[in-house]
Structure 1
Amino acid sequence: MSYSKQRGSALIVSVFIITVMAGFAAAMIRIDWSGQETTSREVFATRAWFAAHSGNEYVLSQLFPLGQKDSEPGACSQGGNTDTKTYSMNASLFQCKSVTVVCTRFKYGPDSQASYKYQLESSATCGSGKFATTRIQETWAKDLP
């Protein structure tokens, strides 16, 4: 073979190698982007979980104040016969939109020794758009007769 017949082969091999490397680079960029999306969702989910937990803790502190033997039934009542109260809190500390806690009280035991059970359902939403994540936590508490 003479030198003149092989002149274009290096160019073809170079173009092929560049094309294959560009494909690998595109695949790596896509994998990296997917990893970043997953991490963002996990961060917002964790923030929402802790915000919901904090909402329940706040309402529990209203129900069972320090230094008081019994619970404070009014913390889960809006007055009258309504045995449900909704708390809405600002969740900017967690960089979340909102935290909502619904407190419901249930009477149990005989009327002479009636006590209350409380159901707290906290919902927190963090993130926006396709990264919006909501976490819901439920907590139960009761008076000791």
Structure 2
Amino acid sequence: MEHLRIIPHSIYELFHLRRVGNLLYFEGPLLSLFKEKGGVHFYLFDWVDSSQDANRWLIYRVSIQSISDFLDKKISHLELFKNRNLDKIYVVDISRGNESFYDYQAYELQQLPANYLPNADNFFEPSDSPDLEAIKVAIALSKQKAV
């Protein structure tokens, strides 16, 4: 895996997030949508790298509108990433033996390796999302609360 430069004291606790569903799944989750428990913010866990022992994920906040645009194929995966709500990007390495995201801490990246950027040609494909209905319901409920 890439050697990363992180901001050591900028920790993001993952226990307050709940999984909504997988936007992209191929032999395991590759792009997963999470929401704050009791909150309004959505976060993406974006798989970027692996080793023999762990999978590496980028974590970033996204807006309801950007998620909707991605699902409607109006924007690519790269545009979804670039449209994130905050400049902060967190990274977490999760042991291959532990399927739970909740016991980990993520650290803010100082600099994102170029090869971790999503591909501009990647657009959402409904057949790659086993949880599409649950995701649509979560987005619709969040939109109703925002009104």
Bigger strand share: 2
Higher relative contact order (CA 8 A, sep 6+): 2
TM-score normalised per structure 2: 0.28
TM-score normalised per structure 1: 0.28
Bigger helix share: 1
In our comparison, the structure showing a higher alpha carbon Rg is 1
